[in-house]
Chain A
């Protein structure tokens, strides 16, 4: 039986993930599976099957998620950004750990999609 703190974190993680909307959830799942890699905006919008422009993803959802400390965005050039999950986040670090432990198959699919 896992200890109380871990279970509590898992509960809070499940709650947060289910309360986020579809786009945010897809972003977090994709980023935590490809961690520690970072992806560009275009790659991310392809990974999550986003139909709109990746620019509007940047300026809307991604900016808001960055403000909430869920993801980190490094500006490599004004047009190229490296997006990765914030592994310092108390709940998302647990998500990353879970994905590394049990999500190897899913990670492979994401990695293959990134190569193409």
Chain B
């Protein structure tokens, strides 16, 4: 693995720990503050079979506090989801940009949008979307990239894609690659797109 990516991986693991720890602290603070202000009941009466000794417990659970607690909890989960969607360690950004610039030249325009998406604008007016997944949940592989070309027209898309080790979906070339193939498979993608361009 490239040392920039190794650095990025270490950074990501550290940041993930810090994020989870701080969200747990927020969780505990929310839990404490929501149930220590006094219980606001929903006006529900417990069923007849309910043991009398547990009445207080029932009142605490069936209450506005619990509703607020679930709202707060889902917000915390949402915050973690947002973080893991948007956070991309900066060494990995430099690695991706350096690899793409090495391939397409220093003057190529690369736009990074929020999250882990890049768009490379090629000279012919076409573009390639590059998306990175920091850690693939299913396999545990780090830094898996996905290439998607801009929509293309032509009747030989499928065979051109196959001959360049890719697949074509809905008029776009797509392929998923490892971080060590970024440079070479990018070249294949550009070559495939150039060979389709004349008929469109």
Contacts and interface: CB of A to CB of B under 8 A. Distances in A.
A37 interface: no
Contacts of B140: 56, 60
Interface string A1-41: 00000000000100110111111100000000000000000
A54 to B, nearest CB: 11
Contacts of B167: 67-69
A60 B137 CA distance: 9
Interface in B112-149: 136, 138-141, 144
B188 A16 contact: yes
Contacts of B144: 60
A22 B177 CA distance: 12
B166 interface: yes
A41 B198 CA distance: 42
B21 interface: no
Contact of A21 (B138, B139, B175, B178): B178
A68 B166 contact: yes
A90 B159 contact: yes
Interface stretch (B24-32, B36-44, B179-187): B179-187
A19 B188 contact: yes
B163 interface: yes
B162 A56 contact: no
Nearest to A56: B139
A68 B141 CA distance: 18
A92 to B, nearest CB: 9
B176 A21 contact: no
B143 to A, nearest CB: 12
A91 interface: yes
